[in-house]
């Protein structure tokens, strides 16, 4: 006699970037094991493969690589919420002394993708030149959330070059996906500091997972606001 098969619940959500409806389910033990093994190795390639496998297996999305970073963060968080629990226990450092830690219980349903007012994907560098930006890829998502190191100058230029969709110069539109990456990096290197600041501002203001909590330092009794940003802040 065959063993029974359990019914896995199905859920729906809307992607923050474009409002598309995605059907998804909790991850199963075999998928959780894959994630735990990848986390233990600490290898970027393993983490990237595990996250991609889980989102592909647990949702009806076909093009994971085409998702915006914050869509991946939001979708992965929702899958984790339905799989492991509606809250996560975190240790938060009190900002008033920078050393005292306080255990906090964060309801994951309270965490939203926050969109900064004035954020634009089209950046006007001059009267003639406009850059159209896209959002970081899955590869960049893993680097940003799990590598544990601040990106260097070369990495910042590389990420910016990867995210440019088109460069419009008057009537001429250059499709950057058809250009060598080195050529796009060289284009950035000739920008003024003020112009490149606009590129940096695009990344700094792009939508992200964010949640602000109030933390009371048990030693000083000081109450502070602490903002948690990005999937890594809520990853347990």
Q: How far is CA 163 from CA 10, 148, 175, in A?
A: 33, 21, 12
At 95 the pLDDT is: 94
81 and 120 together in one domain: no
For residues 134 and 67, state if they share a domain. no
Tokens found for residue 226: 């602490």
Mean pLDDT of 62-89: 87
Q: Could you tell me if 75 and 129 lie in one domain? A: no
For 47, list phi and psi in degrees, rounded to 5.
Answer: -65, -45
Within-domain flag for 97: no
Q: Is the pLDDT of residue 109 over 90?
A: no
Domain of 143, in residue numbers: 116-205
What is the tally of structural domains in the chain? 2
Domain end position, chosen among 41, 67, 85: 85
Q: Do 152 and 196 share a domain, yes or no?
A: yes
Q: Is residue 172 a part of any domain in this protein?
A: yes
**At 136, is the pLDDT very low, low, confident or very high (cuts 50, 70, 90)?**
confident
User: What is the structure's pLDDT at 148?
Assistant: 55
Our separate counts of H helices and E strands in the chain read: 7, 11
Q: State pTM to two decimals.
A: 0.78
Q: Which of 43-52, 80-89, 93-102, 208-217 has the lowest mean pLDDT?
A: 43-52
Q: Is residue 15 part of a domain?
A: yes
Both 61 and 131 in a single domain? no
The encoded tokens of residue 154 equal 């070369």
CB 67 within 8 A of CB 49: no
């Amino acid at each position: 006699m065959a063993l029974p098969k359990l019914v896995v619940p199905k859920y729906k959500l809307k992607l923050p970037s474009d409002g598309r409806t995605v059907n998804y389910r909790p991850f199963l033990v075999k998928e959780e094991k894959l994630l735990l093994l990848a986390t233990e190795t600490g290898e970027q390639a393993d983490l990237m493969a595990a996250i991609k496998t889980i989102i592909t297996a647990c949702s009806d999305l076909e093009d994971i690589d085409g998702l915006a970073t914050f869509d991946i963060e939001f979708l992965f968080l929702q899958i984790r919420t339905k799989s492991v629990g509606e809250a996560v226990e975190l240790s938060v450092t009190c900002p008033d002394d920078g050393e005292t830690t306080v255990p906090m219980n964060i309801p994951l349903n309270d965490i939203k993708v926050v969109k900064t007012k004035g954020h634009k994907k089209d950046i006007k560098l001059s009267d003639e030149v406009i850059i159209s930006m896209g959002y970081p890829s899955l590869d960049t998502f893993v680097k940003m959330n799990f590598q544990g190191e601040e990106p260097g100058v070369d990495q910042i230029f590389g990420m910016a070059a990867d995210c440019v969709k088109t460069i419009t110069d008057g009537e001429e539109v250059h499709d950057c996906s058809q250009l060598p990456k080195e050529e796009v990096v060289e284009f950035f290197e000739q920008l003024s500091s003020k112009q490149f600041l606009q590129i940096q501002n695009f990344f700094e203001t792009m939508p992200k997972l964010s949640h602000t909590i109030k933390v009371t330092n048990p030693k000083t009794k000081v109450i502070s606001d602490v903002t948690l940003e990005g999937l890594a802040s809520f990853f347990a």
